[in-house]
Structure 1
Amino acid sequence: MASLLQQELAAVLQRDLPHLFNGALAPGISTVRVTPDLGQARVYLSLLLGGDAEARLQDIRDNAKAIRQALGKRIRQTVRVVPELIFFHDDSAAYAAHMDQVLGSLNIPPAPKNDDEDDEDQPARPRLFNNE
């Protein structure tokens, strides 16, 4: 059910209701999670491109009824009840990019080379077996 909703919602947002985004790129749907009773669907949107993410999310939430009706027209032959759509901003891609930048900026010195000659300075390793 979740994958059906994800595919059909993407089609609705890109083809049926592109006017909701005022010429901006339609958001990508990263995940859809449906409650066990199929009454609600949590839709996580990727809003990286196209301006202010919070303003775009609020526009989508304001038009949730129209989006649900357009979705219902597309899947009415497949499901009995169209779930209530609850939209969330999925910022995992932005977080991953930030963490990549942080890790890339770390200055990690190379590990020292381990020479066999320096073993005299090391404490003796305990023997666990006789054949070591």
Structure 2
Amino acid sequence: MESKRQQKFAGVIQEELAQIFQREGGAFLPNTLVTITRVRVSPDLSVAKVYLSFFNTTNTTLSINTVNAHNGEIRYKLGARIRHQARVVPELNFFVDDTNEYVEKMDHLFEKIAKEPRQKEEDGEDLS
């Protein structure tokens, strides 16, 4: 369970990183929309796990590797934005948030399951 302090600081980081990626992310990820889906902060506020979702890209592994390659630059820009709100800029660890892909996969499976009984009924098979 995260403390109120951790949640508040995570929200600040999420908001500021979203602005950084929106305004300056095109320099290292052209034509890719990056969404900060979640930020988790350690109890001492020294490490932040940032979960990213990429849109308009074919290779999310390449995208996350590019973000990790620019980690120092992103952290520097974050530090410039939160310098009055935090004593130390947290170490940033970026991860791919595959929640949307998982939801789409599950929806596809449920649609497939829902269609199977109807197809058997249409073929004239008795389900009992």
Alignment TM-score > 0.5, same fold = yes
**In structure 2, what is the Cα distance between the partners aligned to 1:108 and 1:30?**
37
| Higher fraction of helix | 2
> Is 1:76 the equivalent of 2:68?
no
Per mean C-alpha deviation after superposition, the further-off stretch among 34-43 and 73-82 is 73-82
Q: Say which of 7, 10, 13 aligns to 1:2.
A: 10
Identity of aligned residues (%): 36
Query: What residue identity is the alignment partner of 1:10?
Result: A
| Alpha-carbon contact 2:35-2:54 (below 8 Å) kept | yes
Q: Which position in structure 2 is the counterpart of 1:63?
A: 70
Superimposed CA distance per residue, residues 27-48 of structure 1 (whole angstroms, 9 cap, x where no aligned partner): 1010000000001000000124
Who wins on radius of gyration, i.e. which is larger? 1
Superimposed CA distance per residue, residues 96-123 of structure 1 (whole angstroms, 9 cap, x where no aligned partner): 00100110111246xxxxxxxxxxxxxx
| Alpha-carbon contact 1:48-1:94 (below 8 Å) kept | no
**In structure 2, what is the Cα distance between the partners aligned to 1:84 and 1:8?**
15
Q: Which position in structure 1 is the counterpart of 2:54?
A: 47
**In structure 2, what is the Cα distance between the partners aligned to 1:38 and 1:108?**
52
> Any unmatched runs of 5+ in structure 1?
110-132
**In structure 1, what is the Cα distance between the partners aligned to 2:42 and 2:81?**
20
Q: Which position in structure 1 is the counterpart of 2:92?
A: 85
Q: How many residues align?
A: 108
Q: What pairs with 1:1-132 in structure 2 (closer than 5 Å)?
A: 1-21=9-29, 23-106=30-113, 107-108=116-117
Q: Aligned with 1:47: secondary structure?
A: strand
RMSD: 1.2
Q: Aligned with 2:33: secondary structure?
A: coil
Q: Aligned with 1:50: secondary structure?
A: coil
Query: What residue identity is the alignment partner of 2:63?
Result: R
Runs of 4+ in 1 over 4 A off after TM superposition: none
What TM-score, normalized by structure 2, do the two folds share? 0.80
| Alpha-carbon contact 1:16-1:70 (below 8 Å) kept | no
What TM-score, normalized by structure 1, do the two folds share? 0.77
